[in-house]
Structure 1
Amino acid sequence: MTDLTTLFTDLVRAETRLYNRLDARLRAEHDMPLGTLEFLKIIDSRPACRVQDIAAEVDITIGATSKAVDRIEARGWCRRAANPADRRSSLLTLTPAGRAALAGATPALEAALADHTAALPPAVVDQLAAGLRRWRQALET
């Protein structure tokens, strides 16, 4: 029987170390934090993306999300436009510079992930992915 406390500790430590390494690589190669890349991906994937959509997706506060979007907008990677359906919110779209930044940083992230999973047999990576996907789905319901 797996010790669930140890599982939790291993999961958190592995996630923290992996996140920090991926973040450092993206900052060094693309002057982009990992969190920014995630936000760019979310904005790009939704035709009518709002700050609250990003906040819900990554499970952080709307205030923190809005500040992060402010930084992305200041870099010229996204723009806010009035939401015709709700004047209390804005719709986010990537700018051409944002699309270019996303296109440039995505392969670097994928390469870094491949580097950091290379120590595991492919079958273990597949099992881990399937297990975490199921667990995440259960936690999100």
Structure 2
Amino acid sequence: MAGELFVDLVRVETRLWNAVDARLRDEHGIRLGQYDLLTVIAGRPGCRVLDLVHEVAITVGAASKAVDRLVAAGLCRRVANPADGRSSFLELTPSGVRALSGARLTYEEEIARWTSGLLPPRILEELANGLRTIRAALEAEQGP
């Protein structure tokens, strides 16, 4: 049972990611990974690359390259950290704010289509609680 659950969980995550990614790309010209990072940056004043690493569970190298791509696309910028000249903070540019704002409803609609559009609220709540428990245990053991 646990093995089948794992396979289903991975397949659902992959297909759900692909569905949301395709819609964001088609309607807003951004990828789901970019949307995810923009959301983290927007929600954390003084956000650093290391904050993205911890929040999204990616390597420092991957986070740094992803930020480079966001900067090149004009969606965010690095701002010098006045307390430490060797580091910088990340902030959305006006284009990044518009991209995130425009994509938010699309993201929410597509997620709802494949979750609350298919399952009753009680089942979704139980699923969310179970996944939070597993995530918390993994983060406690492996780190964020």
Same fold (TM over 0.5): yes
State the match for 2:119 in structure 1. Answer: 120
How large is the RMSD of aligned CA atoms in angstroms? 1.0
Q: TM-score, normalised by structure 2?
A: 0.92
Alignment-mate amino acid for residue 126 of structure 2:
Q
Matched residues in 2 for 1:107 and 1:96: separation? Answer: 18
User: For residues 8-42 of structure 1, what are the alpha-carbon distances to aligned partners after superposition, in whole Å with 9 as ceiling and x for unaligned?
Assistant: 11110110111011101100010100000000010
Aligned residues, how many?
A: 139
**Aligned ranges for residues 1-141 of structure 1 at < 5 Å?**
3-117=1-115, 118-141=117-140
Instruction: Give the secondary-structure state (helix, strand or coil) at the position aligned to 2:74.
Output: coil
Moved more, 22-31 or 117-126: 117-126
User: For residues 72-124 of structure 1, what are the alpha-carbon distances to aligned partners after superposition, in whole Å with 9 as ceiling and x for unaligned?
Assistant: 11111111011122222211011111111111001100000111111112211
Alignment-mate amino acid for residue 69 of structure 2:
R
Instruction: Give the secondary-structure state (helix, strand or coil) at the position aligned to 1:47.
Output: coil
Matched residues in 1 for 2:14 and 2:106: separation? Answer: 19
Instruction: Give the secondary-structure state (helix, strand or coil) at the position aligned to 1:32.
Output: coil
Q: TM-score, normalised by structure 1?
A: 0.94
Matched residues in 2 for 1:76 and 1:60: separation? Answer: 22
- Unaligned stretches of 5+ in structure 1? none
- Unaligned stretches of 5+ in structure 2? none
Alignment-mate amino acid for residue 17 of structure 2:
Y
